[in-house]
């Protein structure tokens, strides 16, 4: 199970009309926060079928 990602650190948006998942880091993050956010980004990409 993935650790929850602090939404003040990472903003994930999926555009189904374009089949694009975008990620924006909203602030400077510590290494553990970056690692958790990257794992969440990968998981979301797999969920939406945009992971390569």
DSSP string, 6-40: PTTTEEEEEETTTTEEEEEE-S---HHHHHHHHHH
pLDDT digits (tens, 9 = 90+) for 8-45: 888 889 999 999 999 999 999 899 988 988 898 899 89
Query: Does residue 2 lie within any of the structural domains?
Result: no
Query: Does residue 25 lie within any of the structural domains?
Result: yes
Query: Does residue 31 lie within any of the structural domains?
Result: yes
Q: Name which of 2, 1, 3, 9 is nearest 34 in CA terms.
A: 9
pLDDT of residue 31: 92
Exposed, middle or buried: residue 5 (CB in 10 Å: 0-12, 13-18, 19+)? buried
Give pTM, 2 decimals. 0.73
pLDDT of residue 4: 62
* CA–CA dist 40, 5 (Å, integer): 7
Query: Does residue 14 lie within any of the structural domains?
Result: yes
Query: Does residue 1 lie within any of the structural domains?
Result: no
Domain count, the chain: 1
């Amino acid at each position: 199970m993935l650790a929850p990602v602090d939404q003040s650190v990472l903003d994930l948006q999926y555009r189904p009309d374009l089949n694009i998942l975008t990620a924006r880091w909203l602030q400077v993050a510590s290494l553990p926060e970056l690692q958790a956010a990257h794992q969440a980004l990968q998981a979301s990409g797999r969920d939406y079928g945009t992971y390569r």
